[in-house]
A and B are shown apart, each in its own frame.
Chain A
Amino acid sequence: MSGAPQNRGKSVPAGAGPRQEPVIVFVVAGTQLAIPAGAVHEIRSTDSLAGEATAFEQADFPGVRHTLERGGTTQYVVSLGEFFGLPRSRPSLVLVLRGVRCALLVDRIERMDALSTIYALPRAFQGDERRWYLGLALFEDGVVPMLNPEGLLTREHLERLDARHLAGAVPA
């Protein structure tokens, strides 16, 4: 049922509380979002990436701004504010994600927190957000979407981006 909490942990021993999962709560253009801490490989300042990132803007992929070459693979740097159509902001951090070829430009880290439950996204939401979010986290100060690290750029998106990236890298 929508809005019902989902225990995301594995089986919990009797007498133990629900397993707490660390999450990173961050802010983009005044909007709070969260991501499982385990999904983040590293957090860098945008300044520190200046020498590594290559401009790569595609009109039909709003938010994709740069690429990073890491370990022989290309990661696409996504400005979450642009991706979500939020008001313009000034990202200062890059969340380099673990296991997916995506890094996220965000304004600032709000806090680390721990969650034992997330709430399923209500079925009233029928658009791409069903892919973007793992669910909704309920904190004392509000409801925060929990990003699905694999949901922002799909395999199809990555294939198209890779094709263009390769085409751009090969001299004509």
Chain B
Amino acid sequence: MTTFTDSPEAAYVLLRLRERRFAVPAEIVEELTGASQLHKLPHTTRLVEGVIVRRKRIVPVRDIASLLLGRPLRIHRFYLIVRRRYGAVEEPEAIPVTGDCELLSGVVALPRGDQQAAYIAGNLELAGEQVPLLDLEKLMAAAPQAAGPAGRAA
């Protein structure tokens, strides 16, 4: 079996968007939190729904389900707070998820398939299911950044 990661000890967080499961590296995950009040503000950035307040920080919420499943996640129970990189700076970002998340360790990631999108970093094989391992930076880069010159309410 070809390993994708250098470390056999790599850990991943398994998240659910509707009926689909995806994984992200555990090292970028800060916490899983229950649904918080979403504050909306006028803006033009696609997929950003608004912000939540978490531990006295203002955290933007990005619905990655629109990219991965083709439609936004209307109902969710939790936010997965991850760290995003902007050059030398890291900032938290909240991803709405449908249900609880699971921490996996000691799982070996398989390489990305030829037909899979660039934001799929690899795959985890779990009980016969291939769970895509997301590269969130590439996923966000794949999203159109702005809705246009005019303002749009989130």
Question: Which of A105-124 touch B at CB < 8 Å?
Answer: 119, 122-124
Tell me the smallest distance from the CB of A43 to a CB of chain B, in Å. Answer: 21
Q: Which residues on the A side are within 8 Å of B151 (C-beta)?
A: 62, 83-85, 128-129, 132
Contact of B152 among A29, A31, A84, A123 (CB under 8 A): A84
Give per-residue flags for A1-28: 1 if the beta carbon is below 8 A from chain B beta carbons, else 0.
1111000000000000000000000000
Bound Cα distance A39, B65 (Å): 40
Query: Judging by beta carbons under 8 Å apart, are B152 and A143 in contact?
Result: no
Interface contact tally, CB-CB below 8 A: 98
Tell me the smallest distance from the CB of B125 to a CB of chain A, in Å. Answer: 32
B43: nearest chain-A partner, CB-CB: A129
Given contacts A85-B152, A85-B153, A136-B58, contact A123 B44 (CB under 8 A): no
Query: Judging by beta carbons under 8 Å apart, are A143 and B146 in contact?
Result: no
Bound Cα distance A144, B39 (Å): 8
The reply on A51 being an interface residue by CB < 8 A is no
Size category, A interface: 20 to 34
Give per-residue flags for B44-81: 1 if the beta carbon is below 8 A from chain A beta carbons, else 0.
11001001010011111010000000000000000000
Given contacts A1-B91, A2-B91, A84-B151, contact A125 B42 (CB under 8 A): no
Given contacts A138-B53, A145-B42, contact A86 B146 (CB under 8 A): no
B150: nearest chain-A partner, CB-CB: A62
Given contacts A84-B151, A128-B146, A143-B58, contact A123 B89 (CB under 8 A): yes
The reply on A126 being an interface residue by CB < 8 A is yes
The reply on A127 being an interface residue by CB < 8 A is yes
Q: Which residues on the B side are within 8 Å of A145 (C-beta)?
A: 41-42
The reply on A171 being an interface residue by CB < 8 A is no
Q: Which residues on the A side are within 8 Å of B51 (C-beta)?
A: 122, 136, 143
Given contacts A1-B90, A1-B91, A3-B91, contact A86 B153 (CB under 8 A): yes
Tell me the smallest distance from the CB of B7 to a CB of chain A, in Å. Answer: 27
Give per-residue flags for B138-150: 1 if the beta carbon is below 8 A from chain A beta carbons, else 0.
0000000111011
Q: Which residues of A contact B (CB under 8 A)?
A: 1-4, 29, 31, 62, 83-87, 119, 122-129, 132, 136, 138, 142-145
30 A-B Cβ contacts within 8 A?
Answer: A1-B89, A2-B59, A2-B92, A3-B58, A3-B91, A31-B40, A31-B42, A31-B153, A62-B150, A84-B42, A84-B152, A85-B150, A122-B51, A122-B60, A123-B84, A124-B62, A124-B93, A125-B45, A126-B45, A127-B43, A127-B44, A127-B45, A127-B145, A127-B147, A128-B151, A129-B41, A129-B43, A132-B151, A136-B41, A142-B39
- For the complex with contacts A122-B51, A129-B42, A143-B41, 16 further pairs of A-B residues with Cβ separation under 8 Å are A2-B57, A2-B59, A2-B60, A62-B151, A85-B42, A122-B59, A122-B91, A123-B84, A123-B89, A124-B84, A125-B48, A126-B146, A132-B151, A143-B39, A143-B58, A145-B42
